[in-house]
Amino acid sequence: MSDSEFEYDSAGSYVYESDDGGSGDDGEGPASAASPPQRDAPVAAALPAAAAHAPAAAAAQGRRLGGPAPAPAPPLSGSASLGASDSAGSASRSRLAVVSQLYGEQGKDYRVFGPDAVRAEIAAVVRDVASVLEVAADDAEAMLLSCSWDKQRLLERFTERPEQVRAGAGLAKAGSRGAGAAEVDGPEADCPVCFASVPASEMASLACGHGACRECWGEYLSGQLRSRAAEAVEAVCMESDCSCIVPHAFVRHVGLAAARGSDPMALLTSWDRSLCRHFVEHSRRLRWCPGSGCDKAFQAVSAGRDVECESCGSAFCLGCGRGAHRPVSCSMLSSWLEKCEDESETANWIIVNTKRCPKCGVRIEKNQGCMHMKCGVCKHEFCWVCTGDWAMHGQKTGGYYACNRYTGQKTQGRGVPGSRPGKKGAGASALDKDAEENLAKAELDRYLFYYQRYSGHMRAGTFAAGQRERAQQRMAEVAAEGLAWVEVDFLEQGTEVLLACRRVLQFTYVMAYFMADGREKSLFEHLQELLEGSTEELSELLERPLEEMDRRQVVNFTRVTAKFLSQLLEGVDEGLVDGASGAGAASSAASSAASSAAAEEAAAAKPGGAKSTSPSGKRKPTDRARQRLRAAR
Amino acid sequence: MAGLSVRIVKETEKLHTDPVPGITATPFEDNLRHFNVTIEGAEETPYAGGIFRLELFLPAEYPMAPPKVRFITKMYHPNINRLGLICLDILKDKWSPALQIRTVLLSIQALLAAPNPDDPLNNEAAELWKSDEAEAVRIAADYTRRFATG
């Protein structure tokens, strides 16, 4: 950030006009007179950013109307939002547009503040409070500091017990002397901090009257700024056991003396910065962008909302400040993370020390030396090393312990091939045998099933993030060959969609973990399946060498995948999960129908000879799912 | 902050010319920010009759940051641990630049007379102080006799 951003300019110096911390009347006059232009300036400055978002938001809105509507025709028209701009060839289209389409569907119900806008916001609230309570601006600021910048709460409390509020904020009783020059008898005084004799004019004190020289004050305040960051603005008098607060104007008063030839505004500037930090960090509705070095503050209207910072690209949740986590809610994510923390040790132990019986799937811990295992549940005999049938181990296979040789296709420790314990059907029946005894184990297996997929997408997401840079490089390469930017930005868009999908998929497993079995979950899993399949395809396409890449194919898959993504998110938003209410079921049925249309489109997107084999682990829609779809239509 | 500030020079002089009763503080010759301190145990406390040695160091930020003080003499006290570290608010978050070496040492002397077992640094001593004060006082007096006299 350039220093100019923090300059203590006309916009910043707002209400602190009176140098010697004068009374409320002095400070109020010019401040309220000058208020309209000051207030408008930051709003106007913020407008371009909001305007830049408008088209994307409008496009998203269009898709939202078209997507899950009950009418059969609209779903296909939804693709126009991505497809049209793609063919329109507008070079100004940035990656942010892609993401805002994915994440901006709820409409932009939040505001973004730069450093200047934050300062203006502080000035506005201080001015409001000062004029309503008829106190000096600095007193208003101190009281706001002491109650987390909650204007409403302050006004209520102040009306009830003004003196208590003032005392709590470290302010002297109303009507006592202000901070500034200290009262000194004689031309010189001894500073109680540095013990030097200084001219009386150099002595300064807060409202409490405890004097010290301006240089000591400056040193004290810089020390507070260094060690306490945002909380430095809550600094109190240097005297032992004195809780008198340091007002903003006093900082200016001592700032010049502290500078000692360096930037005379340095102290005030960093004080100002700390004040902004305090304001953002303590206000309940504001939150810093978590991106490192990013100075944007976000104001949320509603909690629990994923946003992407326009200036640094960090995607995060306005509600809890953690990384973006749609479609799960903040509280659901908290329970999941707590669970992960609790279970991680157990899960690790199980993965390290146990294997599944290759026949019945029960978890077995090996507690003796021999590799010849006999399952306690189904009596199946197998080899611990390769989990193969023990009957196949003998002289004809080259000795009992030939299986310690690496053959490259061992499935050690991977459990029963093809069994999916968490999913109804396969694998579950075996566990049901001894239901009561195995309940705890089954629950753990269920957790592990979701956890493995959750962490799998998390890792894939990290990898995809690395691809982002490579995509940029490739774009530069291609552009160097003389192609227009619009010809290559499909790469970037594809990568962005891939990243968003990985993130959402990661959290869909958290959601699925907490969902009760039933129709809603089946529909959710169907949407998840479609998205996962399409994401894998896209991921594979994007990893190909540039010369083998088919632009049209990537564009198609980007479009289709983005559509699956928005369908899943919309489905969840519109009550796919929250009880099988009539409306929820209808809308999920609609989005399910829409997704089948998209699936057809996906099939059409695959060119005849193109590689359409999916990775081995990829799930295909089951017959049951197809039946459900038919029913839904 | 090279060299010695006016404040440190003046404080040192005053500690020499106008000493606090029962307390001595003299800087070491090789480092004038490093003080050799003794505190006499107050009468009618288990520390009576003992002379306790401490060291005090003034960091570069002093007086904006508190001095670092620790007991060298072995102590039995709920707010002083085996390393001689002292649990005292003015040495931590309640430090004020208006406090001085003199006031810090006076506070430590007062802490010897009034232990606070509810905010312990030596858990064992604090628990005994709460459950059986007579025994705790006996052990503290024993420590004083063994380590702080002669």
User: Comparing A567 with A74, which gets the higher pLDDT?
Assistant: A567
State the pLDDT at residue B1: 42
Res B52 pLDDT > 90: yes
Return the closest-CA partner of residue B91 out of B118, B57, B60, B116. B57
Amino acid at A489: D
Chain A positions in Cβ-Cβ contact with residue B94 (cut-off 8 Å): 240-241
How would residue A600 be classed by pLDDT, with cut points 50, 70 and 90? low
How would residue A258 be classed by pLDDT, with cut points 50, 70 and 90? low
A603: CB partners within 8 A, 6+ apart:
none
Q: Which residue of B has its CA nearest to A211?
A: B98
Share of chain A above pLDDT 70, in %: 61
User: Comparing B14 with A28, which gets the higher pLDDT?
Assistant: B14
A209 touching B, CB under 8 A?
A: no
Q: How far is CA A263 from CA A115, A274, A276, in A?
A: 20, 18, 20
CATH of the domain at B86: 3.10.110.10
Question: Which of A196, A220, A241 minimises the CB distance to B97?
Answer: A220
A139: how many CB neighbours lie within 10 A of its CB? 26
A622: CB partners within 8 A, 6+ apart:
none
CB-based contact B73:B52 (threshold 8 Å): yes
Cα A328 from chain centre: 12
> Residues A606-616: what's their mean pLDDT?
39
pLDDT tens per residue, range A354-390: 788 888 777 888 766 667 788 878 888 888 777 778 7
CB-based contact A208:A236 (threshold 8 Å): no
pLDDT tens per residue, range A186-234: 788 889 998 888 888 889 888 888 889 888 898 899 889 988 888 899 8
| Residue A290: cis peptide before it, omega within 30 degrees of 0 | no
pLDDT tens per residue, range A313-349: 888 888 888 888 888 888 888 888 888 877 766 766 7
Q: What are phi and psi of A321, to 5 degrees?
A: 80, -5
State how beta strands A381-383 and A372-374 pair: antiparallel
Q: Which of the following is catalytic: B51, B72, B87, B90? A: B87
The SS3 of residue A180 is strand
User: What strands, in cross-sheet order, belong to the sheet with A297-300?
Assistant: A110-113, A297-300, A286-288
Q: Sign of torsion, CA A172 A178 A182 A183?
A: negative
Chain B positions in Cβ-Cβ contact with residue A210 (cut-off 8 Å): 98
Q: How far apart are CA A249 and CA A256, in angstroms?
A: 12
CB-based contact A146:A169 (threshold 8 Å): yes
B34: CB partners within 8 A, 6+ apart:
B27, B28, B55, B56, B57, B58
Amino acid at A72: P
Give the bridge partners for A218, in sequence order: none
Q: At what angle do helices A80-88 and A95-103 cross, to 10 degrees?
A: 170
Give the bridge partners for A1, in sequence order: none
Buried-exposed string A192-222: b where 16+ CB fall within 10 A, e elsewhere: bbbbbebeeebbbbbbbbbbbbbbbbbbbbb
Residue A539 structure tokens? 């991921």
- What is the residue range of B23's domain? 6-147
Q: How far is CA A365 from CA A235, A428, A433, A440, A449, in A?
A: 60, 20, 19, 16, 19
pLDDT tens per residue, range B87-120: 898 998 889 999 999 999 999 999 999 998 888 8
Q: How far apart are the first and last CA of chain B?
A: 40
Which parts of A229-315 fold into alpha helices (H)?
248-259, 266-282
Q: Which residue of A has its CA nearest to B12?
A: A195
Q: How far is CA B103 from CA A29, A258, B106, in A?
A: 46, 27, 5
CB pairs under 8 A between A and B: 39
Please calculate the CA angle A229-A230-A236 and round it to the nearest 5 degrees.
Answer: 90
Res A287 pLDDT > 90: no
| Residue A327: cis peptide before it, omega within 30 degrees of 0 | yes
Please judge whether B94 and A240 are an interchain contact, meaning their C-beta atoms are less than 8 angstroms apart: yes
Question: Which of B5, B61, B96 minimises the CB distance to A238?
Answer: B96
Q: Distance from B94 to chain A by nearest Cα, in Å?
A: 8
Q: How far apart are CA A160 and CA A140, in angstroms?
A: 16
**Residue B44 φ/ψ region, left for φ over 0, alpha for ψ in the -120 to 50 degree band, beta for the rest:** left
State the pLDDT at residue A124: 92
State the pLDDT at residue B38: 95
CB-based contact A403:A392 (threshold 8 Å): no
Quickly name the fold that domain A443-632 has. Four Helix Bundle (Hemerythrin (Met), subunit A) (1.20.120)
User: Comparing B104 with A592, which gets the higher pLDDT?
Assistant: B104
A217 touching B, CB under 8 A?
A: no
Q: For the purposes of burial, counting CB atoms within 10 Å of the CB of A237, is it exposed (0-12), middle (13-18) or buried (19 or more)?
A: buried
State the pLDDT at residue B138: 94
- Taking each continuous run of H as one helix and of E as one strand, the counts in chain B are 4, 4
Q: Distance from A220 to chain B by nearest Cα, in Å?
A: 6
State the pLDDT at residue A624: 44
Q: For the purposes of burial, counting CB atoms within 10 Å of the CB of A150, is it exposed (0-12), middle (13-18) or buried (19 or more)?
A: middle
Q: Which residue of B has its CA nearest to A220?
A: B64
State the pLDDT at residue A626: 44
Identity of the highest mean pLDDT range in A1-5, A54-58, B75-79? B75-79
Residue A546 structure tokens? 């540039």
Res A72 pLDDT > 70: no
| DSSP label at residue A173 | P
Q: Which residue of A has its CA nearest to B99?
A: A240
Amino acid at A442: A
Choosing among B1, B4, B5, B7, which should be mutated to test the A contact, i.e. which has the most A CBs within 10 A?
B7
Residue A387 structure tokens? 């989990």
State the pLDDT at residue A496: 86
Please judge whether A219 and B90 are an interchain contact, meaning their C-beta atoms are less than 8 angstroms apart: no
Res A107 pLDDT > 70: no
> Residues A507-535: what's their mean pLDDT?
88
Domains in chain B: how many in total? Answer: 1
State the pLDDT at residue B103: 93
Cα A314 from chain centre: 7
Chain B positions in Cβ-Cβ contact with residue A223 (cut-off 8 Å): 61, 64-65
Amino acid at A538: L
Q: How far apart are CA A330 and CA A323, in angstroms?
A: 10
Please judge whether A240 and B98 are an interchain contact, meaning their C-beta atoms are less than 8 angstroms apart: yes
Amino acid at A491: L
Please judge whether A216 and B97 are an interchain contact, meaning their C-beta atoms are less than 8 angstroms apart: yes
Buried-exposed string B94-126: b where 16+ CB fall within 10 A, e elsewhere: ebbbbbbbbebbbbbbebbeebbbeebbbeebb
Q: How far apart are the first and last CA of chain A?
A: 55
CB-based contact A517:A577 (threshold 8 Å): no
pLDDT tens per residue, range A401-428: 556 545 443 333 333 333 334 434 444 4
State the pLDDT at residue A345: 65
Q: How far apart are CA A305 and CA A328, in angstroms?
A: 10
Q: How far is CA A450 from CA A123, A151, A323, A398, in A?
A: 49, 45, 19, 39
Please judge whether A195 and B6 are an interchain contact, meaning their C-beta atoms are less than 8 angstroms apart: yes
> Residues A34-49: what's their mean pLDDT?
37
> Residues B2-20: what's their mean pLDDT?
87
Q: For the purposes of burial, counting CB atoms within 10 Å of the CB of A447, is it exposed (0-12), middle (13-18) or buried (19 or more)?
A: buried
> Residues A146-154: what's their mean pLDDT?
89
The residue length of chain A stands at 633
Which position has the token pair 């489109």? A601
Res A508 pLDDT > 80: yes
Chain B positions in Cβ-Cβ contact with residue A240 (cut-off 8 Å): 90, 94, 96, 98-99, 103
Chain A positions in Cβ-Cβ contact with residue B96 (cut-off 8 Å): 238-242
Q: How far is CA A104 from CA A72, A75, A184, in A?
A: 25, 19, 62
| DSSP label at residue A367 | -
CB-based contact A304:A573 (threshold 8 Å): no
CB-based contact A314:A308 (threshold 8 Å): yes
Q: Is residue B1 part of a domain?
A: no
CB-based contact B85:B75 (threshold 8 Å): no
Residue A490 structure tokens? 């499909």
Please judge whether B7 and A194 are an interchain contact, meaning their C-beta atoms are less than 8 angstroms apart: yes
Please judge whether B98 and A223 are an interchain contact, meaning their C-beta atoms are less than 8 angstroms apart: no
Res A289 pLDDT > 70: yes
Choosing among B6, B13, B96, which should be mutated to test the A contact, i.e. which has the most A CBs within 10 A?
B96
Residue A361 structure tokens? 């799937």
Return the closest-CA partner of residue A304 out of A283, A282, A334. A334
* Segments making up each domain of chain A, as ranges: 443-632
How would residue A90 be classed by pLDDT, with cut points 50, 70 and 90? very low
Please report the ipTM that was assigned to this predicted complex.
Answer: 0.84
Q: Output the DSSP codes for A406-429.
A: --S---TTS-STT--TTSSSTTHH
Residue B87 appears among annotated catalytic residues:
yes
> Residues A15-26: what's their mean pLDDT?
36
Please judge whether A195 and B61 are an interchain contact, meaning their C-beta atoms are less than 8 angstroms apart: no
A123 touching B, CB under 8 A?
A: no
User: Comparing A491 with A428, which gets the higher pLDDT?
Assistant: A491
Res B54 pLDDT > 90: yes
State how beta strands A211-213 and A203-205 pair: antiparallel
Chain B positions in Cβ-Cβ contact with residue A242 (cut-off 8 Å): 96
Q: How far apart are CA A479 and CA A375, in angstroms?
A: 62
Please judge whether A240 and B99 are an interchain contact, meaning their C-beta atoms are less than 8 angstroms apart: yes
Q: Sign of torsion, CA A241 A278 A146 A171?
A: positive
Please calculate the CA angle A69-A71-A76 and round it to the nearest 5 degrees.
Answer: 75
Q: How far apart are CA A28 and CA A26, in angstroms?
A: 6
Element (H, E) at A287: strand A286-288
